[in-house]
Chains A and B, each alone.
Chain A
């Protein structure tokens, strides 16, 4: 009973939610920069970043720290944060749209679709005119969109009411199929086998600032589009018919939301490979704590997701140091059991 009322109190006080989520993200950020083979004191980190932003010079801090923070750890941590935020907000949106707490870019097969796009780009060495460096994320986004479209069409064919399990099962089928396709291409390349597998399992290491520049525009466009559709997502949580009765232009909004979700997933996969379950666990946790209203759920999931992935990356690179684990291993270790728990809870209620 007490737990119930505490949760209700939290759900009603959204300001507290934003404060806590922001503190969590910043703390993760600082920890992510600080910890590693060489530890950097947190105060130094703040000064280094402050000096960089406000363009003043500092001399009392070791220049090695300066280089580690600005050239290695900060881009890595920011990339992890962006990928986590993108996957979490995309997951929250997919869940609301499909009224399905088990939906996320990974379980829906969208991540696999995006991977195919990325692998195809690398395999054939495609570089589209005008967009150059953006070819990889662009094709990932396109493949992600095609995949979600196929998954939903297929699921609707099987079961018009689109039950939770049907959609997830369809996602599994597509993931397996696309995974096989990727394996095939990897076998054909022979050479850079290990590198691609490492990328596939997901990693944010050694990407540098260039990758952030690539993913950022996609991230901004995708998350803006989704956050502008918070109320529509609320309405669609009650069913598409109901949303239409309430005045939502369902066809248009659905297309916008699926496109935005694909943009976010595609971009995230393009820079870091498939990282599963972030989009499942984070929105679920956020919803439990702060309530299902998408106007708040989306930004809060974004904040929490970025902090979560930074921490996951921190664990992945330190736990059996000096060897680095793929980050997807950590998220799956946390995410898969969470998936199971949500499934059991659903069955019970």
Chain B
């Protein structure tokens, strides 16, 4: 569809682009990225025929750009500009109708039925149909941008060029616009080439990306290849962090604020001093949000949480939507469900066991409530039914330090290994299979780290952190089981 070969050039006096080559296939949504002044807009202006270039060539549909007349080009390529001037108050329909300019011919350039049909169609597609008799000046920024899009589409282009189309648009309009473009490119009716300022939007919607740095191509590849942490860091000269989109398999990028890097953050220690417990629940309120990985009823997964609640429920607790019920429970008691990791247990909360352990600068605080009513041998779990029963061994691990995501996972493995050994040493038996139990059917775990102080990359069983975790979890689990066994 579009082929750019060894393109160089710029404005009179200085050159902006050097040796740019790439091609865009039909139906692609192609993104152009780069810091300010990297030549994105210049490149787009050259492709749209607005700016002459010094060297190289541009082919549109296998025909040289220079061989197109302005009108012919407008029938193939439309541009949605970043800014639009509106000195006079044209109506929406008048504005959109201008898009038909290239299609009208003859001295009188009469308005045909075909023109009218296309204008009505694109106004419907962009949702500006109801506004057609309004003046441009009466519209909001988002509406105006949609009118501009309608005008560009009235050209019935095969290629649409956009310069930061989401600039000045509300979130909902950004999504709306890009969703429309994505649909049309997927249909194969349109090829879109767009400059993006927002790397995350580009990552979400584009098929391929072109990254410019100082007028040269840094890379041209699939989004995953382009949006790499060190590459973006280097091209944009700033600190960023890459993470996975929660729903879609695309990378997302976020800035690292300066205060995060400054290590003067006050050290915070999570200890037994801030643990409160009564018959209803065990609560730990941290002075700062903790990075958490958990499998609780509320606040599961990876996140930042400040409050941890382990709630006692009856053995016969049953509710069709225990998650919602738990949320309501938290709200009623003044806990913010969005900031809380919440777990349930049928165990008597007096049987709780907790330990604070320290080694050099590192310390962990572990809280365990354990009962073995529905103990299971995980290796033979096919013999068990899978009904929801309130959790029985709930383990909280608080780490006073900064740990990596792999350390979170290793910490879970280490804690689980310690738990299994604790159950075995307490001779807990799976009542169905008669073998040693490795846990109960509904155990929950949460690891929370202050993310301040010394950094720990790993938490495997022989690392300093792993050693603390396994020791504390083993001791707490064992003690809690002993307490609950004594009660019987």
Contact = CB atoms under 8 A, between A and B. Distances in A.
Given A245-B74, A245-B78, A99 B87 contact: yes
A247 interface: yes
Interface stretch (B89-97, B229-237, B259-267, B276-284): B89-97
A249 interface: yes
Given A99-B87, A246-B99, A247-B102, A241 B109 contact: no
A292 B81 contact: no
A237 B48 contact: no
Contacts of B89: 291-292
Contacts of A349: 137
A198 to B, nearest CB: 37
A216 B352 CA distance: 105
B91 A246 contact: no
B14 interface: no
Interface string A7-33: 010011000000000000000000000
Given A238-B84, A238-B85, A349-B137, A245 B98 contact: no
B298 interface: no
Contacts of A99: 85, 87-88
B58 to A, nearest CB: 16
Nearest to B135: A8
**Residue from A235, A245, A250, A293 whose CB has the most chain B CB atoms within 10 Å:** A245
Contacts, number: 84
B203 to A, nearest CB: 28
A99 B83 CA distance: 15
Contacts of A238: 84-86, 95, 98
Given A228-B107, A242-B81, A249 B90 contact: no
Interface in A178-207: none
Contacts of B152: 245
Contacts of A318: none
A245 B94 contact: no
A247 B71 contact: yes
Contact of A242 (B71, B84, B137): B84
Contacts of A293: 90, 94
Given A99-B87, A292-B88, A231 B50 contact: no
B303 interface: no
A287 interface: yes
Contacts of A235: 98, 101
Nearest to B100: A246
B101 A231 contact: yes
Contacts of B102: 246-247
Nearest to A242: B81
B267 to A, nearest CB: 54
Nearest to B51: A241
B193 to A, nearest CB: 14
Contacts of A249: 69-71
Interface of A: 8, 11-12, 96, 99-101, 228, 231, 234-235, 237-239, 241-242, 244-250, 287, 291-293, 349
Given A242-B84, A245-B78, 17 more contacts: A96-B88, A99-B87, A101-B88, A231-B98, A231-B109, A235-B98, A238-B86, A238-B95, A238-B98, A244-B70, A245-B48, A245-B79, A245-B81, A250-B70, A291-B90, A292-B89, A349-B137
